[in-house]
Structure 1
Amino acid sequence: MEQIVPFNKPYLTGKEAHYLYQAVYSGHISGNGNYTKKCQSFFEEKWGFKKTLLTTSCTDALEMCALLLNIEKGDEVIVPSYTFVSSALAFERQGAQIVFADSREDHPGIDETKIESLITPKTKAIVVVHYAGVAVDMDIVMHLAEKHNLFVIEDAAQAIDSYYKGRPLGSIGHFGTFSFHETKNIQCGEGGLLAINDEQFIRRAEIIWEKGTNRAEFFRGEANKYGWKDTGSSFLPSELNASFLYAQLENIDDIQKRRKDIWLSYYNKLLHLEESGNIKLPNIPDFATNNAHMFYMVLEDEQQRSNLIRFLAEEGIKSVFHYLSLHKSDYYLTKNELQTLKMSDHYSDCLVRLPLFYELEKKEIESICQNITQFFK
């Protein structure tokens, strides 16, 4: 059957093409121009990050973290297994040994109570992933970091405009990283952001961001010339990406409200299936907020999930599973022995995501929920 409801549809506010036009005819379309600065100022003013740098992806932002922390062979970095490969790869490619942590029983995020048992004298950093935009218990994580003299990277790829005890996610650890991939709440096709919350890293971050040079300082008039100062790469995006992103940022409150309305509608219409024991719905801890990045359900087993995905597809509805546990990946197992991480594997086998995008209509939500109810009958 022809697909009727896609899993995702990137939302356009109507200003993107206008700002792209302005960027093109401004005479400056390479990185770190007017729209880059406008985006970075937006983040710093709205969410209070000490310093932000736009990047071409969240992966690039994570790679900058690895360079800023001088990660090298012999270091260990703790990462949840249930996450996208970039959370681990950025540190592995610098030579680190990745130590995988399991997920919580009530949420796919990292199990904070298991982290300390993984810390050794070689541990240098902890990467936490705010899965579905829902916060990890950052008090526990930051206490462990202080106790063991470790750095914390918040992978907030999915967590824009979400909070932990009133504090914006991405602002609590030493670094926060964000994604603006087309599947995210705010998007520019491909894009990312590094938030630097520890002032000791700010100047070096700018140098690494600008290919290892002090070029940014030069263009601000803080140096009479610029040259090669450190390692780095071309991490900054063009003004085209930044101008597109700025149109989205201007409309973030409207976008967030719409997404939250959709999320709540799903929750209310499917709650009866949780109450009858058919599914588990997302859990939002008291310390966290929900930014409606995604709506997911956890089913009984992999076979039931596959059957539901197939059933919905036959009705023209695209639903998808999510991450495969990284500790079971082919690449990781070429260098490491197989571990048992029960909850990570449980979510890999049983979690299914439903369509969630700005233009999803009420009648489509009702149809999706009716079909899911029918499946369980």
Structure 2
Amino acid sequence: MAASSAPIPLTAPDLSGKECRYVAEAVAARQLAGDGGFTKRCHAWLERETGAAKALLTHSCTAALEMAALLLDIMPGDEVIMPSYTFVSTANAFVLRGGVPVFVDIRRDTLNLDERLIEAAITPRTRAIAVVHYAGIACEMDAIMAAAARHGLAVVEDAAQGLLATYRGQALGSIGALGALSFHETKNVVSGEGGALLVNDASLAHRAEIVREKGTDRSRFLRGETDKYTWQDIGSSFLPSEIVAAFLLAQLEEARAITERRLRLWRMYDELLAPLEASGALSRPGVPAECTPNGHIYYVMLASDRDRQAVIDHLAAAGVRSAFHYVPLHNSPAGQRFGRAVGDLPVTAEASRQLLRLPLHAGLAETDLARIAALLREALD
């Protein structure tokens, strides 16, 4: 545990203790390329825990999103509705296929895509809706899926932050046609770099294997279902190595324990910061009743009259690392070049100016959280 006066980083991986042993086993087996025994065990865990028809490890969540764009046959000019308050990969995956990101504003309580604004953004060119489950708290998926069904659109879930979080009991990433997970070093469960595509529309499962294997039917060949493999479709190299999969398996086996530790800290923050919300200095994350979070990020939205950089500097002077998050994509040079916004996106602008992320990782003690809360009170008085 971190000492009460020690520097506190924003994030730190929570190691299970088995990572080095599993990596050594992968090396000893001399099968270092992807889709070995450790990869298969990761696939089985993900399919069991999420209910996806097929789970496929990728070298990043970005790669999983790029696979989704390929599987949906996104063509030049096709439009994909998404939030602007997200990481660039959400948009890049579709722009690489010639798609046009259509940026819609977010909800003030969850900072997720505002489901009430989706239908006004639909045009004859709309092909899909890409939702982002910010901070591991679910979007309003019933309304989003209903809107998609009415207009014949696919739904892709960017669940980079959502492993083991749920919406009405369903795992995030398992509700739309396709879902993408991240195992980046900053996530709850990590492999350094890494991700997974969850294929929930079973009709896409066979093609997903082909796209992931450079457009070949190599997966069928390795299962003995064909005597050779050949080029079948468009694709690329999306597999992680078996070393990455070995490290990840050790994390997945402890994923529920990791999540519980993070949720305990998340709830402590929520209790400690309630008085500051009551005073009007900030607002805490909103968690709708149908959502079960995973403790990925704890953030606050500072009141509009508070100077976020001054708060960051006050915490930093005491050795506590905090941070803002995304610069809205619709305001970026590439966002203006490749996409378009529907309306002014005022909540997105507010989040970009006022959101503050606080440290959240297993190295934190209760005394650390009390210290951070006290520093926040000092900065906001």
TM-score, structure 2 normalization: 0.96
Counterpart of 1:21 (choices 3, 20, 24) is 24
Q: Aligned residue for 1:341?
A: 345
Letter in 1 for 2:324: F
* Counterparts of residues 1-377 of structure 1 (less than 5 Å): 4-301=7-304, 304-334=307-337, 340-377=344-381
Provide Cα deviations, 1:12-43, integer angstroms capped at 9, x if missing partner.
11100000000011010100000000000001
In structure 2, distance between residues paired with 1:183 and 1:301: 28
Contact 2:306/2:380, CA 8 A, preserved across alignment: no
Q: CA separation of 1:335/1:213 partners in 2, compared to 1, >3 Å: closer, same or farther?
A: closer
In structure 1, distance between residues paired with 2:347 and 2:340: 18
In structure 1, distance between residues paired with 2:230 and 2:340: 45
In structure 2, distance between residues paired with 1:291 and 1:356: 12
Provide Cα deviations, 1:108-159, integer angstroms capped at 9, x if missing partner.
1110000000001110000000001111111111111111000000100000
Contact 1:302/1:350, CA 8 A, preserved across alignment: no
The alpha-carbon deviation at position 169 of structure 1 amounts to 0.9
The alpha-carbon deviation at position 101 of structure 1 amounts to 0.7
Contact 1:302/1:349, CA 8 A, preserved across alignment: no
In structure 2, distance between residues paired with 1:200 and 1:279: 46
Segment drifting more, 330-339 vs 121-130:
330-339
Provide Cα deviations, 1:172-222, integer angstroms capped at 9, x if missing partner.
100010000011010010000000000111011000000110000000001
Letter in 1 for 2:39: T
Specify every segment of 5 or more residues in structure 2 that has no aligned partner in the other structure, as ranges: none
Contact 2:106/2:113, CA 8 A, preserved across alignment: yes
> Alignment identity in percent?
46
In structure 1, distance between residues paired with 2:75 and 2:6: 47
Q: What secondary structure sits across from 1:115 in the alignment?
A: helix
In structure 1, distance between residues paired with 2:114 and 2:367: 37
Q: CA separation of 1:168/1:117 partners in 2, compared to 1, >3 Å: closer, same or farther?
A: same
Q: What secondary structure sits across from 1:25 in the alignment?
A: helix
In structure 2, distance between residues paired with 1:47 and 1:176: 10
In structure 1, distance between residues paired with 2:255 and 2:187: 12
The alpha-carbon deviation at position 3 of structure 1 amounts to 7.6
The alpha-carbon deviation at position 105 of structure 1 amounts to 2.2
- In the alignment of these two chains, the number of paired residues is 376
In structure 2, distance between residues paired with 1:135 and 1:333: 27
Q: What secondary structure sits across from 2:157 in the alignment?
A: strand
Specify every segment of 5 or more residues in structure 1 that has no aligned partner in the other structure, as ranges: none
Provide the aligned C-alpha RMSD in A. 1.3
Letter in 2 for 1:33: G
Provide Cα deviations, 1:69-104, integer angstroms capped at 9, x if missing partner.
111112111110000000011001110111001011
TM-score, structure 1 normalization: 0.97
Contact 2:112/2:132, CA 8 A, preserved across alignment: yes
The alpha-carbon deviation at position 303 of structure 1 amounts to 5.8
